[in-house]
């Protein structure tokens, strides 16, 4: 793996701390975005079956010329494919579309408690890991009760939980629960889907360091010990979002960003009440 920060997972594997997010990126655009990211030094891509771009991600990986074992690929089992047999089929489908023999990380995309199937789905991920189709297994959008149920019933702890997390929605309580359980936290919509890029506190910190607002926010995730997957399809922004290793935020910056947290700062759906 190239030189960049990596986070050790509870199962002994490691994940590059910065990855490229590819939500809302069609297949053909995913090919070029993944290539641009791998050229820029990224070694981690976050996709999902629901993004309908696994073919493009796999094609971008192959076109880049970067060796397969240098790159960490995450995908996710979509809600409609929950349940033991369905999830195993879904993983087969993802492997086929990505043209990979093994996923580095597979997540349950949402707990979807109204479906009542996330525990069976977790058992399928354990099976796929035993079969060698998946190296590490984790979850996304799980709340503490969902985490404790899968851990309690199977004895297998998700390596990470990928959750909405950005300066306006810092998820302090859930992060503390993760730490107690040995689960790493991965931030989705880390830039607040772009909405945080004009925040006056963050633009002020960016001016102080001679950096962009996107770089300051990504640096905040890194300095907070989070795994971060900013999305862009624009090559210059892909490069910019990875050029975050040459500076650090100070205690004053961190305190100012801590002050941006809002109880109702969530942009995406609430996992407890989402009905999809
Ligand atoms: P994000 O917070 O990464 O923001 C992306 C947007 O910010 C871009 O579309 C662009 O408009 C803007 N942007 C990015 N870099 C910029 C730069 N340097 N300068 C100016 N503008 C810039 O939003 P996201 O895509 O919602 O989240 C990132 C990734 O998280 C997704 O692509 C996906 O992989 C993952 N995700 C997961 C879930 C889940 O349920 N697990 C949900 C949402 C997103």
Domain range summary for the chain, segments of one domain joined by +: 6-196+221-243
What percentage of the chain reaches a pLDDT higher than 70?
A: 99
With the most atoms of ligand 1 within 8 angstroms of its CB, the residue from 19, 20, 21 to mutate is: 21
CB of 10 within 8 A of CB of 159? yes
What is the whole-number distance in angstroms between the Cα of residue 193 and the centre of ligand 1?
5
pLDDT band for 224, please (50, 70, 90 cuts): very high
Reported as type and span, the H/E element at residue 202 is helix 200-209
Instruction: Determine how β-strand 72-77 pairs with β-strand 103-108.
Output: parallel
What is the CA(20)–ligand 1 centre distance, in A?
9
Reduced to 3 states (helix: H, G, I; strand: E, B; else coil), residue 139 is strand
106 CB-side CA count, 13 A: 30
CA distances, 205 to each of 102, 104, 169, 260 (Å): 41, 35, 19, 13
Q: How confident is residue 4, by pLDDT bands cut at 50, 70 and 90? A: confident
**Among residues 42, 51, 84, 118, which one is catalytic?**
51
Distance 228 CA to ligand 1 centre (A): 10
- What local confidence, expressed as pLDDT, does residue 63 receive? 98
- 51 counts as catalytic: yes
Block residue for tokens 């960049």: 4
Q: Which of 203, 208, 46 is nearest to 140 (CA)?
A: 46
> Above 80 in pLDDT, residue 1?
no
Atom of ligand 1 nearest to the CA of 22: 32
Q: Which of 128, 118, 37 is nearest to 47 (CA)?
A: 37
pTM over 0.85? The answer is yes
Mean pLDDT of 148-177: 98
Six token digits for residue 214: 């996107």
Give the whole-angstrom CA distance, residue 78 versus residue 48. Answer: 8
**Reported confidence tier of residue 3, pLDDT bands at 50, 70, 90:** low
The rounded percent of the chain whose pLDDT value lies above 90 is: 99
Ligand 1 is surrounded, with C-beta below 6 A, by: 21-23, 46, 109, 140-141, 162, 188-194, 197, 214, 229-232, 237, 240-241, 268
Whether residue 241 contacts residue 232, with contact meaning beta carbons closer than 8 Å, is answered with: yes
The first and second tokens of residue 61, run together, are 């990986």
Q: Please give the span between the terminal C-alpha atoms of the chain, in angstroms, as a whole number.
A: 37
How far is ligand 1, taken at its centre, from the CA of residue 159, in Å? 22
The rounded distance, in Å, linking the Cα atoms of 105 and 109 is: 12
Q: What is the C-alpha separation between 268 and 29, in angstroms, rounded? A: 24
**31-85: pLDDT as tens digits:** 999 999 999 999 999 999 999 999 999 999 999 999 999 999 999 999 999 999 9
Please classify residue 235 by burial: count the beta carbons closer than 10 Å to its beta carbon, then call 0-12 exposed, 13-18 middle and 19+ buried.
middle
* Residue with CA at minimum distance from ligand 1 atom 7: 194
Dmax over CA atoms of the chain, in Å, equals 54
Strand positions, DSSP E, the chain: 6-8, 14-16, 20-21, 44-46, 72-77, 103-108, 134-140, 160-164, 184-188, 227-228
User: Domain 6-196+221-243 belongs to what topology?
Assistant: TIM Barrel (3.20.20)
Report the residue count for the chain: 276
Mean pLDDT (the chain) is: 97
Q: Which candidate, 147, 135, 127, 124, places its Cα nearest to that of 11?
A: 135
What is the chain's alpha carbon radius of gyration, rounded to the nearest angstrom?
18
Reported as a single tens digit per residue, the pLDDT across 172-214 is: 999 999 999 999 999 999 999 999 999 999 999 999 999 999 9
């Amino acid at each position: 793996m190239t030189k960049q920060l990596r986070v050790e997972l509870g199962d002994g594997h490691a994940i590059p701390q910065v990855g490229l997010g590819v939500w809302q990126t069609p297949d053909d655009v995913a090919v070029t975005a993944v290539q641009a990211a791998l050229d820029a030094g990224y070694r981690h891509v976050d996709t999902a079956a629901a993004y309908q771009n696994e073919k493009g991600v796999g094609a971008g990986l192959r076109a880049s010329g970067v060796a397969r074992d240098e790159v960490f690929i995450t995908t996710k089992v979509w809600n409609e494919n929950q349940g033991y047999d369905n999830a195993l089929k879904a993983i087969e489908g993802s492997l086929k579309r990505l043209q990979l023999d093994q996923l580095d990380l597979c997540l349950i995309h949402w707990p979807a408690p109204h479906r009542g199937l996330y525990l069976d789905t977790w058992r399928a991920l354990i099976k796929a890991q035993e079969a060698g189709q998946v190296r590490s297994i984790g979850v996304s959008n799980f709340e503490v009760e969902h985490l404790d149920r899968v851990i309690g019933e199977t004895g297998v702890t998700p390596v990470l939980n990928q959750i909405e997390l950005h300066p306006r929605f810092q998820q302090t309580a859930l992060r503390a629960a993760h730490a107690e359980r040995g689960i790493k936290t991965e931030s989705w919509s880390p830039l607040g889907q772009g909405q945080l890029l004009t925040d006056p506190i963050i633009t002020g910190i960016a001016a102080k360091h001679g950096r962009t607002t996107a770089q300051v926010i990504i640096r905040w995730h890194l300095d907070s010990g989070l795994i971060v997957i900013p999305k862009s399809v624009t090559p210059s922004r892909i490069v910019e979002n990875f050029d975050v290793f040459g500076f650090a935020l100070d205690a004053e910056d961190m305190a100012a960003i801590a002050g941006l947290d809002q109880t109702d700062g969530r942009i995406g759906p609430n996992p407890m009440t989402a009905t999809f």
